[in-house]
Amino acid sequence: MQKMKILVVDDESRMRKLIRDFLEREGYQILEAADGVEALDLFYEYKDIDLMILDVMMPKMDGWQVCKEVRERSKVPIMMLTARAEEQSELKGFELGVDEYIAKPFSPKILVARVGALLKRAKNAVEEASINAGGIVIDKNAHLVTIDGEVVDLSVKEFELLTYFIENQKIALSREKILNHVWNYDYFGDARTIDTHVKKLRSKMGEKGNYIKTIWGMGYKFEVE
């Protein structure tokens, strides 16, 4: 099993070594950077960093600037280290997208515990944003659907419709209910809008399109065969 990768960014070599030693004992792989510029170089070089531990006060580029640039491109969990424990610093960090905040000096054991908790939260968030059934995987964050590993190009409504079906497997869904949840308006007139979208969705899903069952006179049901 591949080790989780943590990038430790601090201009004090002793601090980096302290953090590295404790985290390596827990089985993590550690990358180190001595300033913000080096941190971003490593961030772009390694596409699979699981967590950043980022000091605020650093030469060349401080932690706030690094955090801002990383957040524009990634949701990787960020833990900020600072010698300043003022409330204002914490607020600034959270506004920039910091996930966890720990003030120096700190207990290495507390740091390790917080790292574990943060990684667990991040993992749970990813799992909640991903649903799958019968070889169909939906990534809500990326707005991406794959079927047996192949990306399927869906319109926004087709994506929302398939998501709604999979989240309500084996439940008979009336056209009224589908319109209300996917199109966000009450049911008026005929249901040709839904039927047209279901037909297109089935065709894009290939054989998996058979998972969407028609319930005559009522609506549809998603059921893996």
Would you give the end-to-end CA distance of the chain in angstroms? 32
Q: Kindly tell me the burial class for residue 59, based on how many C-beta atoms sit within 10 Å of its own C-beta (0-12, 13-18, 19 or more).
A: exposed
Residue 181 has pLDDT above 50, yes or no: yes
Q: Is 116 helix (H, G, I), strand (E, B) or coil?
A: helix
Residue 198 has pLDDT above 90, yes or no: yes
d(CA 206, CA 192): 21
Mean pLDDT of 187-215: 86
The pLDDT, as a whole number, for residue 90 is: 66
Tell me the pLDDT of the chain averaged across its residues. Answer: 88
Using alpha carbons only, what angle is made at residue 106 by residues 103 and 107, rounded to the nearest 5 degrees? 155
d(CA 58, CA 218): 63
pTM, two decimals, is: 0.61
Q: Are 51 and 7 in contact (CB under 8 A)?
A: yes
The correct CATH number of 130-222 out of 1.10.10.10, 1.10.3720.10, 1.10.357.10, 2.60.40.10 is: 1.10.10.10
Q: Could you report the per-residue pLDDT of 76-118, keeping only the tens digit for each? A: 999 998 876 555 666 677 778 888 888 888 899 999 999 999 9
The correct CATH number of 5-128 out of 3.30.160.620, 3.10.20.740, 3.40.50.2300, 3.40.50.300 is: 3.40.50.2300
Residue 176 has pLDDT above 90, yes or no: no
Q: Are 137 and 130 in contact (CB under 8 A)?
A: yes
* Lowest-pLDDT range of 22-36, 46-60, 185-199: 185-199
The pLDDT, as a whole number, for residue 212 is: 96
The pLDDT, as a whole number, for residue 156 is: 86
The pLDDT, as a whole number, for residue 189 is: 47
Residue 141 has pLDDT above 90, yes or no: no
Question: Same CATH topology for 5-128 and 130-222?
Answer: no
Q: Where are the domains of the chain?
A: 5-128, 130-222
